C-alpha cells in the first residue's frame, strides 16, 4: 500500500485534492517538494495543447504511453491507469502553461483534469494505486500568487 505524502505541510498555500492550480512562479518550489517526497515527475507542455488531438499527443509523450495508445478519452484513461498502477509509488504531473491550454480549448483541460482525478483515487476499489498529484501551472487571474 502506498504511503500518501501530505503535500499541504510543506506547501500550506496548496489548494485542491489531487488536481491543483498554482501560479507558474511556484513551479520550482513545487518541483523541490515533490522531489524531496520521492515523486516521479512528468511534465506536460501546455503551450503544445490546443485541443483533444494535441493533448493526446503531448500526454503520450510525457507519460510514456505505448505506441498503440488509441488517442481518445477511453484509451487515455486505460493508459493512465497503467501508469498509476505501475512501479512508481508517487507520481506528479506538472502541466506547464495550463493557461495557454485553457485559452486553446477549456473543455480539453476539464476532461483531462476529470480523468486524472478519477484514476486510482484513494479509497477506490482499485488495489494499491500510486499517489497521483496533478499541478496546473499558469499565469494571470485564477492561478493564484
Tens of pLDDT, residues 22-65:
999 999 999 999 999 999 999 999 999 999 999 999 999 999 99
Say yes or no to pLDDT of 123 above 60: no
Tell me what the mean pLDDT of segment 4-20 comes to: 94
What pLDDT is recorded for position 36? 97
pLDDT > 70: percent of the chain: 92
Sign of the alpha-carbon dihedral angle for 88, 92, 97, 103: positive
Residues with Cβ < 8 Å from 73, sequence gap 6 or more?
A: 52, 111, 115
pTM higher than 0.85 for the full model?
Answer: yes
Say yes or no to pLDDT of 114 above 60: yes
What pLDDT is recorded for position 136? 98
What pLDDT is recorded for position 130? 86
- Give, in order, the Cα–Cα distances in Å from 11 to each of 89, 101, 111, 118: 20, 25, 26, 23
What pLDDT is recorded for position 135? 98
3.40.50.300, 3.30.370.10, 2.60.40.10, 3.40.1350.10: which CATH number matches 19-138?
3.30.370.10
Say yes or no to pLDDT of 88 above 90: no
Domain ranges of the chain: 19-138
Say yes or no to pLDDT of 82 above 90: no
Question: Directed axis angle between helix 52-63 and helix 73-84, to 10°?
Answer: 20
What pLDDT is recorded for position 46? 97
What pLDDT is recorded for position 1? 52
Vertex 76 angle, CA 41 and 117, to 5° = 60
Number of residues in the chain: 145
Amino acid at each position: 500500500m502506498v504511503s500518501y505524502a501530505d503535500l499541504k505541510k510543506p506547501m500550506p498555500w496548496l489548494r485542491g485534492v489531487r488536481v491543483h492550480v498554482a501560479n507558474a512562479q511556484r513551479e520550482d518550489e513545487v518541483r523541490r517538494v515533490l522531489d524531496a517526497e520521492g515523486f516521479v515527475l512528468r511534465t506536460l507542455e501546455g503551450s503544445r495543447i490546443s485541443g483533444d488531438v494535441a493533448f493526446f499527443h503531448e500526454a503520450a509523450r510525457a507519460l510514456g504511453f505505448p505506441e498503440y495508445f488509441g488517442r481518445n478519452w477511453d484509451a487515455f484513461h486505460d493508459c493512465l491507469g497503467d501508469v498509476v498502477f505501475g512501479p512508481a509509488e508517487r507520481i506528479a504531473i506538472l502541466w506547464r502553461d495550463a493557461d495557454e491550454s485553457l485559452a486553446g480549448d477549456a473543455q480539453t483541460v476539464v476532461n483531462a483534469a476529470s480523468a486524472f482525478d478519477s484514476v486510482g483515487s484513494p479509497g477506490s476499489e482499485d488495489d494499491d494505486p500510486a499517489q497521483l498529484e496533478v499541478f496546473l501551472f499558469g499565469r494571470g487571474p485564477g492561478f493564484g500568487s
